[in-house]
Amino acid sequence: MPLARPDAVAASARGGGGYFPPASDADGMDDSGQDALLAAARDSLDAAYAPYSAYPVGAALRTADGTVFTGCNVETANYSNSLHAEEVAVGSAVAAGHRSFGALAVTSEHRDGLLPCGSCRQTLAEFCDEAFPILADDGSGDPVVRRLGDLLPDAIGPADLGVDVDGR
| Residue range 2-24+31-152, CATH number | 3.40.140.10
Q: For residue 118, what are the CA distances in angstroms to 10, 124, 136, 146, 147?
A: 31, 10, 15, 14, 14
pLDDT at 11 over 90: no
pLDDT at 167 over 70: no
User: pLDDT, tens digit, for every residue of 19-76?
Assistant: 333 333 323 577 889 999 999 999 999 999 999 999 999 999 999 999 999 999 999 9
Instruction: With beta carbons less than 8 A apart as the criterion, state whether 134 and 150 touch.
Output: no
Alpha-carbon distance 119 to 98, whole Å?
20
User: pLDDT, tens digit, for every residue of 15-33?
Assistant: 333 333 333 332 357 788 9
Which of 86, 87, 109, 126 is an active site residue? 86
pLDDT at position 163: 92
Instruction: Check if 75 is active-site.
Output: no
pTM of the entire predicted model:
0.82
pLDDT at position 164: 87
User: pLDDT, tens digit, for every residue of 112-153?
Assistant: 999 999 999 999 999 999 999 999 999 998 899 999 999 999
Alpha-carbon distance 104 to 71, whole Å?
11
